[in-house]
Structure 1
Amino acid sequence: MFALITSGVLALSFVLAAVLKYKFIAKKKSLLGRHVLVTGGSSGIGKCIALEAAKIGANVTIVARNESRLLSALEEIKGQCLNNDQKFKYLSVDLAGDYSMVKTTLNIAINEMGPLYLFINCAGMAICGTLEEVSTNDIMKMINTNLISTIQATKAIVDEMKQNGFGSIVITSSLASFCGIYGLSVYSATKFALRGFAEALSMETKSFGVKVTLALPPDTDTPGYANESKDKPIETLLISATAKLFTPEEVGRKILQDTLNGCFFSTVGLEGHMMTISCAGMAPYTSYLELICQVFCGGILRLITVYYQYLFDKIIEKCKLEREHKKI
C-alpha cells in the first residue's frame, strides 16, 4: 500500500512538472554561435554537456587540469559540431589554485571565443569512507575540487556576465545536497554548500538578467563514479543500489535542456524530482505551477523520505551486526 501511494504521488508530481515545462516555461533558447564554457569538461557529465552544446551549434570551451584528456575530449567534441563556423578551445588550469591564474585563464577563453552565454561548473569528485577513515588530505581535496574550484571559477566570470545582461550559470551539485549519505559525509558537506552558493548567487544575478541552475545529478556511470565505487563502504553500495544508475549522456542532456529552459533545479528521474519538491525550502521557483506542486505534494513526500531513511538505517544496522558477528 505504501509503495502504491508513493508511486501515485510521484507520478502526479511528475505529470505536473511535465505540464509545467510544456506550458509555462519559455521556449528553449538557441545556442547557435553562442559561447558555452564547461569546467570539468574533459570527461563524464561535463564532456557530455559539451558534446550536446556542440551538436546544436555552440562555440565550446572545456576546462580541466589534465591536458591529454582535454585534447582527446576536444577532438571528440569537434566531431559533433553542427557547422564549420563553430569554434572550440581547451584550457588547462587548477581552478582551486591561484585565483589570479584562474581569472586570467578564463579571460583568455572569453576574449577568443566571445562573451559567455552558458558557464557550466562540472568539476567534482568523491572519496568514500566514514569520517574517521578519510584522510585530512582527501578532505581538503574534496573541498577544493567540489567547492573552491566552483566558487573561484564563477567569481572570475560573474561580473562580466552581469554587465552583459544575459546568460546562465550552472552549479553542478548532487542529490547529496538534499540528503547526507553514509560513507559520503565530507562529499555531502561540499554538495550542501554548493546548494547554498547557488541559491545566494541566484539572488545576486537575477536582476541583471543572469540565471542560475542548480544541477542535481543522481548516481551517474562516469569514470569518476567507477573509481569511487572501488572504496565505497558496503553500506554506501547498498544504499546506492536502491536507486537507478544513469548514463552521463542522459544526465548531461537533461542539465543542458533545463538550463536553456531557465529552470533553477535540474534533476533526472523520479527520485530527483521528489527531492526537489520535498526539500524546496527557500529555493527559487520557475513558475506558480511548480510552487503549487511543492506546497501540496511536499507533506506526503516528506513522509516518503522518512520511509527511505528507515530503509537506509536498517541497511546500516544490518551491516554493523554482520561485522560484529565476524569478529566473534
Structure 2
Amino acid sequence: MLVSEETTSRVWFITGASRGLGRAFTEAALTGGDRVAVAARTTAPLEELAAAHPGRVLPLGVDVTDRDAVFAAVAEAVGHFGRLDIVVNNAGMLSMGMVEEFTEAEARAQMDINFFGTLWVSQAVMPALREQGFGHLVQVSSIAALGGFPSTGLYSASKFALEGLSEALAAEAASFGVKVSIVQPGGYWTDLYTAMRNTSPLEAYAPLREELAKQFAEGSVDSDPKLAAAALLKLVDSDEPPLRLLLGGMIYDLAFDITRTRMDTWAAWEHVSRAAEHAIPAPATAVEEAGTGPQQETR
C-alpha cells in the first residue's frame, strides 16, 4: 500500500526564511523530505526553492510586525498543507548602540520585530496546534538573552522579553500536547551583522566602542549556519525536547559563567534577601479602620 507524502512528511512554518539561519533551517527541512511554508518580507529569494521542490514549498510574503498579515499567512499555510507540525520563529534584526543613544523609533522598531513579531506568530499558530493536539514551536533567541552587554541593550531587551513570553507559553501549551523550545544561538556567518542597524554614536562612548571592537576582533567565533540547522533537526526529532537549547561551545561556556556569577552574587547577599521577607497579617484598609464608606480626600 502506498503511503502519501502528506502522511509521512512534516509541515514547517518558518519566519525570516529567505536568508541566514532561516534559509538554513528551510533547506534542512526540505532535505529531510518535509514540506515548508516559508515566510519573509521578500519572497523572491524563495522562488528557486519552490521551483526545486514542487508542491513542498509555500512562499508567503509577510511582515511579522503586521499582526493581521501574520494571522492571514498562518491561515493560508494551514489551509494549503492541512496542518502545522513545526513552527520556527526566526525572523529578527539586530540594532546596535548604547542605551542612551536610542531614539524612540529605533527602540520600538527593535521590539516590534524581535518581540511583537514572535508574539503575533505564536498567537496565530496556537489555535491550529491546540486543535490538532500536537506541534512544536521553536523560538529563536540569542546569546544576548544570557545577559545585557554594552551596545546590545535593546537587542538583549527584545530577546529577554521573548524568552519570558516563551517560558509562559510553554507552560500554557503543554496541556494541549504542544511543545515549546527556546534556541539560543551563538555566532553564525549570516547577514545579521551586515544588515544590522546602528544608532547615531555619542562621542562620550568612543573609548568603550574601541574596546568592544578589539574584544570582538579577538574573541568572535562564527560558524556555518548548517551546523545550527543540524542541531535544530535533532531538537525537533526529540520526543522530549528541552525548554532551552544552547548552540555553540562559546555560548555554552558563557551561559555557565554568567549563571555561576549570578549564583555567587545571590549567595553573598543572601542575608539581605532573607531579611526582606517576614510574613504579617494583611493590613486593614483605611476604610475598614474607619468603619465607613469611601471618603473624599482633601488636600
Q: Give me the TM-score of the superposition, normalised by structure 1.
A: 0.69
| Residue in structure 1 matched with residue 61 of structure 2 by the alignment | 92
- Displacement of 1:143 in angstroms is 0.6
The residue number in structure 1 matching 2:253 is 274
Structure showing greater Rg? 2
Letter in 2 for 1:90: P
* Cα distance in 2 for residues equivalent to 1:301 and 1:270: 20
Determine which structure has the larger helix proportion and give its number: 1
Provide the secondary structure at the position in 2 that maps to 1:111: helix
Q: CA deviation at 1:264?
A: 2.0
Q: CA RMSD in A?
A: 2.5
2:244 aligned partner, one-letter code: F
- The answer on whether the counterparts of 1:128 and 1:134 sit within 8 Å (CA) in structure 2 is no
Which ranges in structure 1 are unaligned for 5 or more consecutive residues? 1-30, 280-297, 304-328
SS at match of 1:193: helix
- Higher normalized strand content (fraction of residues): 2
Q: Deviations over 1:58-107 (max 9, x none)?
A: 111110112xxx2323414654x5xx6x521111122212x233212210
Residue 85 of structure 2: aligned partner: 117
Q: Kindly provide the amino acid, as one letter, of the partner of residue 48 in structure 1.
A: A
Classify 1:188/1:301 alpha carbon distance in 2 versus 1 (closer, same or farther; 3 Å). Answer: closer
Q: Measured at CA, do residues 93 and 271 of structure 1 come closer, stay the same or move farther in structure 2, by a change above 3 Å?
A: same
Match of 1:17 in 2: none
Are 1:247 and 2:232 counterparts? no
Runs of 5+ in structure 2 lacking a partner? 1-6, 202-208, 265-299
User: Over residues 91-144 of structure 1, what are the superposed CA-to-partner deviations in whole Å (9 max), with x where a residue is unaligned?
Assistant: 1122212x2332122101110022000000000001111122233222111111
> Is residue 260 of structure 2 the alignment partner of residue 260 of structure 1?
no
Measure the CA separation in 1 of the matches of 2:211 and 2:156: 15
SS in 2 for 1:169: strand
Q: Distance in 1 between matches of 2:210 and 2:188?
A: 18
**1:180 is paired with a residue of what secondary structure?**
coil
Q: Quick check: 2:95–2:198 contact (8 Å CA) kept in 1?
A: no
2:134 to 151, 166, 190: 166
| Alignment equivalent of 2:70, drawn from 102, 105, 115 | 102
Q: 1:236 to 1:248 in 2, by over 3 A?
A: farther
Q: Which runs of 4+ in 1 moved over 4 A?
A: 229-232, 275-279, 298-303
Equivalent in the alignment of 1:141? 109
Q: Which residue of 2 aligns with 1:4?
A: none
Q: How many residue pairs end up in the alignment?
A: 247
- Name 1:43's counterpart in structure 2: 19
